[in-house]
Amino acid sequence: MPSSPEEAATEHPEITYIGCARCGTLIAGLDGRYACSGCGWVNEWTEGHRPLPEARHRRG
């Protein structure tokens, strides 16, 4: 069991919502990464809240 809320946050993607930059539809994203199912718009993964799991540096 996680010893701190901060540690727990790194284990579970954070779901956030924004308006699509192209068509304005409200879309959900994980960790700041979005893909609109209406028009196909996606944002740069570099705009996410953290690196992709493959690029993540493990501590310890």
Asked if 21 touches Zn ion (CB under 5 A), the answer is no
CB of 35 to Zn ion, least distance (A): 9
Asked if 9 touches Zn ion (CB under 5 A), the answer is no
Asked if 41 touches Zn ion (CB under 5 A), the answer is yes
The angle formed by the CA atoms of residues 38, 44 and 49, to the nearest 5 degrees, is 105
Contact 27, 18 (CB under 8 A): yes
> The tokens of 10 are what?
């790194």
| Size of the residue set binding Zn ion (CB under 5 A) | 8
Residues that bind Zn ion in the complex, under the rule CB under 5 A: 20, 22-23, 25, 36, 38-39, 41
